[in-house]
Amino acid sequence: MATYDLVVIGTGPGGYVCAVRASQLGMKVAVVEKNATLGGTCLNVGCMPSKALLHASEMFEEAAHSFAKMGVNVSAPKLELPAMMNFKQQGIDGNVKGVEFLMKKNKVDVLKGTGKILGTGKVEVSADGKSQVIETRNIVIATGSDIARLKGIEIDEKRIVSSTGALSLDKVPGKLLIVGAGVIGLELGSVWKRLGAEVVVVEFLDRILPGMDGEIAKQFQRILEKQGFAFKLGAKVTAVDTSGKTLKATIEPAAGGAAETLEADVVLVCIGRVPYTDGLGLKEAGVALDPRGRVQIDPHFATSLKGVYAIGDVVAGPMLAHKAEDEGVAVAEIIAGQAGHVNYDVIPGVVYTSPEVSSVGKTEEELKQAGVAYTVGKFPFTANGRSKVNQTTDGFVKILADAKTDRVLGVHIIGREAGEMIHEACVLMEFGGSAEDLARTCHAHPTRSEAVKEAALAVGKRAIHM
């Protein structure tokens, strides 16, 4: 029997970061991973491969439509999908090897197999019909999440696919039907739209990007429609007939009414994700779950079973890799007797489309619902010098500040590189900064980030360039 200070089950962003931090703090650490490679969904079939395809497809689109107007004349680009998939795989391999290196560097033992909690201080690791019991002072559950499934619609990862299958299609579908207008659906829809697919998105709600600021979502929908996306909002897919050469999807209004049939070559189901707790033995071990199947934790990430903690997608909160990472660091520090903490009011979210959408803090809808008096400052990229000369003027920056104190409560950006620009807002909000603080901070010219400063100036109705 091996004895550890900490065993982490799962090596996604939450798990491997937790292991590294715990090792830095002097603990003897092991990680348990059931898959062949480390890195979890994010590195293998999620965030990272999707960003590779988003970047490659964006370059394809730019070469076809944007180069000529800049005086760069190239022949019409030809898609070599296998080569693009190889580009994606190179990125995956590089990141996975990076995590393996981090485990070795930090002297973290990697135990390959499925982890099961037998009780306080005991983890069973099973692989290839054999199992061993590992003794440990502490256990962290970092098993992440799995795709949510639609009742009655079977995912085969060939014609009816999840996000995993949508990252590895062997040809561009003529017609792609996407079920769900959240982040994942819109990102993957963008990839295949640029490469030549006709894209229709069906969403149960009457809007895209649930949870994002409403004004941003409306503007983004208009931009996507201009790019060729078609949306059927307030609708649901109730069945998919797979018997013919093409798929036939039955679509009904969410509020009830006459059904219609849409044909598609591929149906992508991305209606969200669910906590992954299969095979962990949580019920038998006495680890409580909430009504949505998430592991219940206290403010210090502790579960109902002594010495067992949980982080990331398997617990409540936004299912984001960086949220899991911060929780991984915090729980390692708590186990080491330090004051680990995550500020859930300052966790950014990004949609990596073109243009990007980013957000941190409260939306207008949330502030209205909470009865908080606020002021708004907005600045469009059409009035930003760098955006104008680069002809990337879609979108705007929106800052929400407390009407009494001027403290920044939320920042929302739609535009080129919005995912990079959001972080000055995160830093400002982490330190309780005001719109005035942001407005008086010198920004380099010409940059897109000047639009953030101008939006902060606009909170006080004194924007300079509009």
Cα-based angle 19, 273, 99 (whole degrees, multiple of 5):
25
Listed in sequence order, the residues at least 6 apart from 74 whose beta carbon sits closer than 8 Å to its beta carbon are 63, 67
The pairs formed by 73-76 with CB atoms below 8 angstroms and a separation of 24 or more are: none
Q: Does 445 qualify as catalytic in the annotation?
A: yes
Q: Which residue has the tokens 């409260």?
A: 362
Listed in sequence order, the residues at least 6 apart from 48 whose beta carbon sits closer than 8 Å to its beta carbon are 39, 42, 91, 92, 95
Residues 177, 183, 184, 185, Cα dihedral to 10°: 0
φ, ψ for residue 274, nearest 5 deg: -125, 150
φ, ψ for residue 279, nearest 5 deg: 75, 5
Helix (H) or strand (E) holding 411: strand 408-415
Task: Count Cβ atoms within 10 A of the Cβ of residue 183 and give its class: 0-12 exposed, 13-18 middle, 19 or more buried.
Answer: buried
Active-site residue among 300, 341, 445, 465? 445
Residue of 254, 273, 251, 274 whose CA lies nearest to 262: 251
Specify whether the CB–CB gap between 239 and 190 falls below 8 A.
Answer: no
* CA 396 centroid distance within chain: 21
Residue 355 one-letter amino acid: P
Active site residues: 445
